[in-house]
Amino acid sequence: MYPQEFLYTKEHEWIRVDEGIGTIGITDYAQKELGDIVYVELSKPGEHVAANESFGTVESVKAVSEIYSPVSGEVTAVNAKLQNNPEMLNTDPHGEAWLVQVRLSDRSEIEKLMSAEEYEAYIQKEKSA
Amino acid sequence: MEKRIREARPHVTRNERLIFERSTPGKSGVDFPPLDVPSVSVEELLGAELSRSEVEGFPEVSELEVIRHFTRLSTWNYGVDTGLYPLGSCTMKYNPRINEEVARLEGLATDHPYAPEALVQGCLGVLHETARCLEEITGMDAVTLQPAAGAQGELTGILMMRACLTERGDPRKQILIPDSAHGTNPASATLAGYEVRNVKSDECGCIDLAELKRAMTDEVAGLMLTNPNTLGIFESQIRQIADLVHSRGGLLYMDGANMNALVGVARPADFGVDVMHLNLHKTFSTPHGGGGPGSGPVAVKKILEPYLPLPVVRQGPEGTFQLDYNRPRSIGRVRAFYGNFGMAVRALAYIQANGFEGLRQTTQDAVLNANYVMSRLRSFFDLPQGCASMHECVFSDRRQAARGVRTVDIAKRLIDYGFHPYTTAFPLIVPGALMIEPTESASKEELDAFIHALGSIAQEVEENPEWVLKAPYTTRVTRLDEAAAARKPVLRWKPSH
Amino acid sequence: MRYLPNSDSDRAAMLKATGRSSVEEFFDRIPREVRLKGRLDLPGPLSEPEILEFFRQAASRSSREYVSLLGAGAYSHYIPVAVKALLSRGEFFTAYTPYQAEIAQGTLQAMFEFQTLMTQLTGMEVSNASLYDGSTATTEAVLMAMRVTRRSRVLLARTLHPEYRQVLETFIRHQRTELEQVPYEESGQLDLARLESALKAETAAVVVQSPNFFGTLERTAKIAEVVHRNGALLIVTITEPLSLAVVKPPREADIVCGEAQSFGVPVAFGGPYVGFLTAKEKFLRQMPGRLVGQTVDTEGRRGFVLTLATREQHIRREKATSNICTNQSLCALAVTIYLSLLGKNGLKRLAEENLAKAHYAARQLAAIPGVATPFAAPHFNEFVVRTPGDANELLADLRKQRIIAGLNLERFYPELRNHLLVCVTETARREAIDRMVEAFSRATGSSAELAGCRTAGNGAV
């Protein structure tokens, strides 16, 4: 159920890389854990992010989660729709509700990420822990 | 389903809109004596630029309407006066009425904080005596009544630790906090300029000594501990913990939220605590008031005494009380004036009513009540840890979760049985927690009713989980849409609504 | 012990059910060496009459027989008895924080009404459900402004309540912040020229009190202009919000905070009080404290809940906007009831009365040779009086007449020796004011002869 063309992080983010631009979001597992999402705060275009550093937060009624960037680079786009419709993250986390796009500064970083199968195995372990 | 509920029945309560929606022009709920000085023109005195003609939107209602409005609102609430209020770590005990009476006495309720000291000896004496009693109860050497609540007390305590270590040469960088701690602990530490380092607790919520040894470096200013912890379990290795912290030059802070298990039985000073805060609105019976005001006095050992917030109430040689501002090493003020004086009055009255024997009996009853509830509920709910807990117990919803019902749902169903819910979802180290603190203010009869209710709900979960999931059924409002409230916040009334 | 509902047989039955033979066993985890041995030296146990006797004695050693003209952040106003009657309802005062919204709609609706009233008064767009007091509310406002602007310098008017400034200093010490004072000018108001030159790129906020500590009203519109040009925020703190019934609210400010004790909360030797914090809507998510929001239940009925809790400590832990857990709910309820009783018309009338009495007193005092009211700018119910002779002697003299005639400003402002801060509310009857003026006149009559020239301070720093 997790898209094959994405790569995944242990913090439950996904990234799809096209020609040096990575589109980043949170996974279905993450949105389920958070519950009804009420607010999203993200870095702005032009800002730089570093791999494993936070570039924003996602808030639900009962929790706040930092979102960590899987890669380093410059933010080229932010999904404006999430401002007024944060609940999209609950209904379409892998599609319409992408968070940001980043121009990768170091392609090799994606080698450290998990494939869809690896991620599914990872969350199975998390669930039974 | 509802026939099995023997403890409560629904009752009609009137609806009541917002006070602004009741309002019609020209009314007021007060009358004034005639003006005995020449009247003035606001515009003349203040100028047109500065003058305001009215506060738009302010209500205009009669005294009767105010009485009905708020009386109706009150009937929608549940208080300690209504019945058992088993919130964990909140210590929802009886708020004695005599406390309210004495707090309102003219002279105590009316003295101005800047009145000359010679004229306010009564108030100063009350502050002094309350502090003395709290020193006695905790075994500590000095107490400040200035912090307005527990969280402010924590911050004050940590600032004092910081001042002490700074004077010694190095304030250090970290504070250790067990992952079972209340959320104010890390927030307070951060505000005081420290990094928080979490220390894993074992399944009893107690500090793992080996972990602590690893974590307790020269970078660590101290450890913030709640004892008994948030599972109601006493840190039996407290002396080793204190020794470890002290041996590395750190200080031991104790969150006194759970003092209701210790008063008259053990004193934190005796087991190595250097600084702690108390919650007058928990252990010492001052009312919760729907969320405040509280009071968070801080008690310290001698080494921290110089850093107390100023002023300090002292008793001079002739027995008169004075406010001592001459304290060059103080951390400064943590609030204007002297603290929540009204809460000190109430706490002192509570201590006086009980005396030592009463306080100890209170502690024993609190612990007995919790253990009674725990032993009777074990057949229905999972008890995740086997350690002996004192004044509160924590179950998990594991058994019920298998049927799709969680702690929040059980809590909502409990409302239909006429009880206020226990604490859900805390402490974090127990997933699906049901945290129950009955306090001493619960008769066996009340506890039996509570136990019966929870037992009945456990049965409902087995027979008909769907029913429990949609609870409560008997409240004025059903479950409220919290997501909508957070997404598009509406935080005030506006005339167009 | 009358508060404990169990009899010995109840205890025995419960103990039996736990399978233990003695209550002592529950304390087994406490090491023997640290258990309390012996007794504690505590008063009691006392019966009700004995407790009453103790506190009546304490209450007799008070200033209740005196006329008090003290303000300075704590104001004596008449509290209608309906306030106490309603606050005493057990469902209000013995309830906990309204986390279980279905059985706390009373508290939640009242807090929603409180939030509304505060925004109506201050001209701001959002309010929280109260903070501990004015001093911590001001501190929280500063922390908020620093978060919003990501800047670290703060300018404080010298006429901000000195204890508020002290509290701010205590909490800001570890936040890498610089505090600087801006002096006042001859009129008793903030020196605008000095403000302009003090503003820097790193200035996060300017904190101004109005009416200020001297009772003088500040020119908040002009101040806002200057502050905003610099990209900083304007925080106006108000210790006597009754003034807002007749004084235009500082709508140009970014945050308006302060102390709502004037509205139905007794002076009570300094607490408990009730701080308020209101702001422009765009700062909502940086606002500390509890917030009550309107929503609907599953049947579409209007209801209220605590909302935006993710800013608070119990979820964010280290990253919380502040560490506040408690608000001052019962005091905020007192404010809500009080303002509902007075309402639009009553509040205006009360404010006009305060204005009238204070100006009556000021005029009479200024008419005494040797006595002056040095600050020319408009004031509400507090003002400064310069005494020709030693102010402490004068105060002592007036005390013999059972009048506490004000606060000697020398306590906080060394440049203002022999200046008194006098507050006159509706609680001061004319005959008391006249007696005070007369006594003033008599006292200064003699010392006026002894006095030479005295210069008033002008706040030069």
ipTM reported for the complex, 2 dp:
0.96
Residue C450 reports pLDDT greater than 80: no
Residue C360 belongs to what domain range?
Answer: 343-449
**Residue C406 is part of a domain; what is its CATH number?**
3.90.1150.10
- Give the per-residue pLDDT at C459: 37
Number of domains in chain C: 2
Structure tokens at B122: 């009564």
Q: Which residues pair with A60 in a beta bridge?
A: A37
Q: Is residue A27 part of a domain?
A: yes
User: Which of B351, B385, B407 marks a domain boundary?
Assistant: B351
pLDDT at C448: 44
With a cut of 90, say whether residue C198 has pLDDT above it: yes
Residues B234, B344 within the same domain: yes
Q: What are the beta bridge partners of residue C420?
A: C385, C408
Is B276 within a domain?
yes
Pairing mode, strands C255-259 and C275-279 = antiparallel
Give per-residue pLDDT as tens, C360-414: 999 999 999 989 999 999 999 999 999 988 999 999 989 998 999 999 999 999 9
Pairing of strands B298-300, B312-315: unpaired
Instruction: Please indicate, yes or no, if residue A1 is contained in any of the structural domains.
Output: no
Give the integer Cα–Cα distance in Å for C255 and C258: 10
Distance of CA B438 to the CA centre of its chain: 15
Q: Which chains touch A (3 or more CB pairs under 8 A)?
A: B, C
Last residue of a domain, one of C312, C338, C364: C338
* CB-CB under 8 Å, C309 with A64: no
Which residues, including other chains, have CB under 8 Å from residue A121's CB and lie 6 or more apart? Answer: none
Q: Which of B406, B301, B295 is nearest to B348 (CA)?
A: B295
Confidence of residue C445 (pLDDT cuts 50, 70, 90): low
Q: What angle do CA B451, B457, B462 make, to 5 degrees?
A: 130
pLDDT of residue B47: 92
C93 falls within a domain: yes
Q: Are residues C314 and C364 in the same domain?
A: no
Report yes or no on B187 lying in a domain: yes
pLDDT tens figures, C107-146: 999 999 999 999 999 999 999 999 999 999 999 999 999 9
Question: Which of C100, C274, C323 is nearest residue B191 as measured by Cβ atoms?
Answer: C323
Q: What is the pLDDT along chain B (497 residues), one digit of tens a residue?
A: 677 899 999 999 999 999 999 999 999 999 999 999 999 999 999 999 999 999 999 999 999 999 999 999 999 999 999 999 999 989 999 999 999 999 999 999 999 999 999 999 999 999 999 999 999 999 999 999 999 998 899 999 999 999 999 999 999 999 999 987 776 788 888 888 899 999 988 878 899 999 999 999 999 999 999 999 988 999 999 999 999 999 999 999 999 999 999 999 999 999 999 999 999 999 999 999 999 899 999 999 999 999 999 999 999 999 999 999 999 999 999 999 999 999 999 999 999 999 999 999 999 999 999 999 999 999 999 998 778 899 999 999 999 999 999 999 999 999 999 999 999 978 777 889 999 999 999 999 999 999 999 999 999 999 999 999 999 999 999 989 999 999 999 999 998 74
Q: Are B418 and B7 within 8 A, CB to CB?
A: yes
Helices C430-450 and C329-366 cross at an angle (nearest 10°) of 50
Question: What is the Cα–Cα distance from B344 to B99, expressed in whole angstroms?
Answer: 10
Which residue reads 């964990």 in tokens? B88
Residue C322 β-bridge partners: none
Q: Which residues in chain B (419-438) have CB-CB distances under 8 A to chain C? A: 420-421, 426
Rounded average pLDDT over C326-346? 95
Neighbouring C-beta atoms of residue A127, cutoff 10 Å: 8
Q: Hey, are the CB atoms on B92 and C54 less than 8 Å from each other?
A: no
Q: How far is CA C288 from CA A5, C9, C104, C237, in A?
A: 42, 49, 22, 16
pLDDT at B2: 77
Which residues in chain C touch residue A60, judged by CB atoms under 8 angstroms apart? 310
Q: What is the DSSP letter of C63?
A: S
Please tell me whether residues B274 and B163 are part of one structural domain: yes
**Do C168 and C227 belong together in one domain?**
yes
| Contact residues, chain A, for B432 at CB < 8 Å | none
Q: Quick one: closest CA in B to C122, which residue? A: B55
Q: Is residue C18 part of a domain?
A: no
The structure tokens listed for B277 are: 């805060």
Range of weakest confidence among A34-43, C221-230, C318-327: C318-327
> Could you tell me if residue B375 is inside a domain?
yes
The tokens describing B294, both together, are 């509280």
Query: What value, to the nearest 5°, has the Cα angle with vertex B390 and ends B387 and B396?
Result: 55
Do residues B313 and B451 share a domain? no
Contact flag A64-C316 (C-beta cutoff 8 Å):
yes
* Residue in chain C nearest A62 by alpha carbon: C310
Are B314 and B381 in a shared domain?
no
Query: What average pLDDT does this structure show over A46-70?
Result: 87
Amino acid identity, position A104 = L
B487 contacts in chain A (CB < 8 Å)? 38-39, 86-87
pLDDT confidence of residue B1: 66
Instruction: Give the pair of three-digit tokens for residue B360.
Output: 């100890």
Decide if pLDDT at C453 tops 50.
Answer: no
- The answer to whether residues B337 and B262 belong to one domain is yes
The single-letter code of the amino acid at C337 is I
Is C315 within 8 Å of A63 when comparing Cβ atoms?
A: yes
B168 exposed, middle or buried (CB, 10 Å; 0-12, 13-18, 19+)?
A: exposed
Domain boundary among C338, C357, C381: C338
Say how many domains are in chain A: 1
Model confidence band, residue C70 (pLDDT cutoffs 50, 70, 90): very high
Decide if C72 is inside a domain.
no
Same domain assignment for residues B285 and B390: no
Residue contact B238–C31, C-beta within 8 A:
yes
Residue B142 placed within a domain: yes
CA distance C447 to chain B (A): 22
Q: What local confidence, expressed as pLDDT, does residue B179 receive?
A: 81
Distance of alpha carbon B234 from the chain centroid: 20
Name chain C's partners: 3 or more CB pairs within 8 A: A, B
Task: For residue B299, give the nearest of B133, B446, B188, B427 by alpha carbon.
Answer: B133
How many structural domains does chain B have?
3
Q: Based on the domain organization, do B231 and B285 belong to the same domain?
A: yes
If phi > 0 it is left, if psi is from -120 to 50 it is alpha, else beta; for residue B337 that is left
Task: Note down the domain range covering B65.
Answer: 17-47+54-72
In the predicted structure, residue C89 carries a pLDDT above the cut 60: yes
Interface of B with C in 237-256 (CB under 8 A): 238-239
**Does residue C122 form part of some domain?**
yes
Distance in Å, alpha carbon of B33 to nearest chain C alpha carbon: 10
Kindly state whether residues C299 and C401 are assigned to the same domain: no
For residues C160 and C145, give the distance between their C-alpha atoms in angstroms, rounded to a whole number.
17
CB B181 within 8 A of CB B255: yes
Domain boundary among C338, C353, C386: C338
Residues B243 and B149 in one domain: yes
Q: Would you say residue B86 lies in a domain?
A: no
CB contact under 8 Å between B486 and A87, yes or no, is no
Q: How far is it, in rounded angstroms, from Cα C271 to Cα B350? A: 18
CATH number of the CATH domain containing C306:
3.40.640.10
Phi/psi at B98 (5° precision): -60, -30
CATH of the domain at A58: 2.40.50.100
Lowest mean pLDDT among B191-200, C28-37, C248-257: B191-200
The reply to whether residue A62 touches residue C285, judged by beta carbons under 8 angstroms, is no
Question: Is the link from the previous residue into B96 a cis peptide, with omega within 30 of 0?
Answer: no
Q: Which of B317, B351, B385 is the last residue of a domain?
A: B351
Closest C-alpha to A43, from A7, A85, A77, A83: A77
Beta bridge partners of C382: C423
Q: Decide which of B185 and C290 is more confident.
A: C290
- Asked if residue B273 and residue B169 are part of one domain, the reply reads yes
The verdict on C169 and C202 lying in the same domain is yes
Q: Are residues B120 and B250 in the same domain?
A: yes
Strands (E), B230-352: 251-255, 275-277, 298-300, 312-315, 321-324
Q: Which domain holds residue A114?
A: 7-121
Asked whether residue A39 is domain-assigned, the answer is: yes
C8 lies in some domain:
no
Q: Exposure string (b/e) for B137-163, b if CB count within 10 Å is 16 or more?
A: bbbbebbbbbbbbbbbbbbbbbbbbbb
pLDDT over 80 at A4, yes or no: yes
Domain identity same for C304 and C399: no
CATH number at residue B200: 3.40.640.10
C333 and C348 assigned to the same domain? no
| B39 and B138 both lie in a single domain | no
| Shared-domain flag, residues C323 and C187 | yes
Q: Is residue C20 domain-resident?
A: no
Nearest CA in chain C to A40: C285
Query: Tens digit of pLDDT for each residue in C352-361?
Result: 999 999 999 9
User: Which chains does B contact via 3+ CB–CB distances below 8 A?
Assistant: A, C
**Which DSSP state fits B293?**
-
In this structure, the answer to whether residues C257 and C109 fall within a common structural domain is yes
A69 within a domain of the structure (yes/no): yes
| Residue found by looking up tokens 């009570």 in the block | C268
In 3D space, the residue among B195, B202, B203 whose CA is nearest the CA of residue B221 turns out to be B195
Tokens linked to C90: 């057990």
Is there a contact between C391 and C422 (Cβ–Cβ < 8 Å)?
no
C331 and C357 share one domain: no
* Residue A128 is assigned to a structural domain of this protein: no
The answer on C395 and C379 residing in a single domain is yes
Q: Does C301 lie in the same domain as C212?
A: yes
| B157 and B286 part of one domain | yes
Query: How many CB atoms sit inside 10 A of residue B408's CB?
Result: 19
Q: Which of A34, A64, A65, A66 to mutate to test the interface with C (most CBs of C within 10 A)?
A: A64
Interface test with C, best of A61, A66, A83 (most C CBs within 10 A): A61
**Which has the closest alpha carbon to B215: B193, B200, B229?**
B200
In terms of domains, do C101 and C178 share one? Answer: yes
What's the whole-model pTM score?
0.93
Residue A18 located in a structural domain: yes
CATH code for position B388: 3.90.1150.10
Mean pLDDT of chain A: 90
Residue A126 belongs to a domain = no
Query: C285–A64: do the CB atoms touch at under 8 Å?
Result: no
Q: Is the peptide bond before C211 cis (omega within 30 degrees of 0)?
A: yes
Give the SS3 label for residue B414.
helix
